[in-house]
Amino acid sequence: MTSAPGSAVPEPPVLDLARLTRRYGAFTAVDDVGLRLPAGARHAVIGPNGAGKTTLLNLIAGTDRPDHGTITLDGTDITRTPTAGRSRLGIARSFQQPSVIGELSVLDNIVLAGWPHHPKRRGAWRSPSRYRLHTASAASHLKTVGLADLAHRPAATLSHGQRRMLDLAAALAGRPRLLLLDEPAAGLTDDDIGRLLAILGALPPHVAVILVEHHVEVVAQVCSTVTVLAAGRTIATGPTREVLTRPEVRDAYHGTGSTAGPAAAPARG
Ligand code: ATP
């Protein structure tokens, strides 16, 4: 669905993946995957270990290149656009392993992450006048993720859950149109997962999210639509509640040794 209600002119999707394929030698990690997302979509990509989920995020973010297929952002073909260019166009990402800079303060991590995206970004990022300009918006991102009180601590002193929140704040500092989240709930306590859900629920409505996540409860709460990958191929896509109950989706997890996924979701009535 890519047209606004009541509009005769269909809106272009914010993201359009067509026949995306990535091979490593004879092995195909992502196999002929297509996906169209409207602005503000909340879409999950799930699947058993090794299904190709992170590879798909890498292709969208530009840290890996497809052997075949196209990636279109807001109507522009970005298949060959470098990662930094995609970032400037509004693609931001959080990682399975949080990518914070331990020696910098929590606040400076966000100032640095937001610097290339700020309208007043000229000059060295730590020049005093420029730096002051950026700390205000960085502080607001820290407040969003519940780290405002830790702003001046070295990032290296944060707990795993706090690092994940900092990584998310760094992604938000990129003022994304499309936010790619790679297993943000991994290793979090129940309290941290509650905070994560609140943060994701409060994202600006125009920001599209692709969430790779093994926690089905998080997927079900955050995402209205889902794609299921298995061995690089799309085996199901559609409304989350409906897709999670399909037998072929639950079958995809059986025999993989995976303890997470729709096998843990409520069985069909
Ligand atoms: P997980 O849920 O365990 O994170 P995933 O669905 O994210 O898995 P990917 O990390 O995308 O899976 O990996 C898909 C497959 O591609 C795996 O079999 C992996 O070993 C393989 N793969 C990924 N990157 C490379 C690479 N650079 N070279 C060779 N094989 C790779």
Single-letter amino acid, residue 91 = I
| Distance (Å) from CA 103 to ligand 1 centroid | 30
24 ligand 1 Cβ < 6 A: yes
**For position 199, which CATH number holds?**
3.40.50.300
Asked if residue 225 belongs to a domain, the reply is yes
Asked if residue 1 belongs to a domain, the reply is no
Asked if residue 153 belongs to a domain, the reply is no
pLDDT tens, residue by residue, 212-234? 999 999 999 999 999 999 999 99
| Distance (Å) from CA 213 to ligand 1 centroid | 15
Asked if residue 61 belongs to a domain, the reply is yes
Measure the CA–CA gap between 77 and 73, rounded to whole angstroms.
Answer: 6
8 A C-beta contact, residue 256 and residue 46:
no
Split at pLDDT 50, 70, 90, the class of 269 is very low
| Phi–psi pair at 105, nearest 5 degrees | -70, 165
Q: pTM here?
A: 0.87
Q: For residue 214, which of 263, 162, 153 has the smallest C-alpha distance? A: 263
Q: Got the DSSP string for 23-44?
A: EETTEEEEEEEEEEE-TT-EEE
Q: What is the pLDDT of residue 267?
A: 35
51 ligand 1 Cβ < 6 A: yes
114 ligand 1 Cβ < 6 A: no
Asked if residue 169 belongs to a domain, the reply is yes
Tell me the three state secondary structure of residue 145: coil
| Phi–psi pair at 188, nearest 5 degrees | -85, 150
The domain total for the chain is 1
Q: What is the pLDDT of residue 24?
A: 97
Q: Can you tell me the mean pLDDT for 98-109?
A: 86
Largest interatomic CA distance in the chain: 62
Parent domain of 48? 15-102+161-264
Asked if residue 125 belongs to a domain, the reply is no
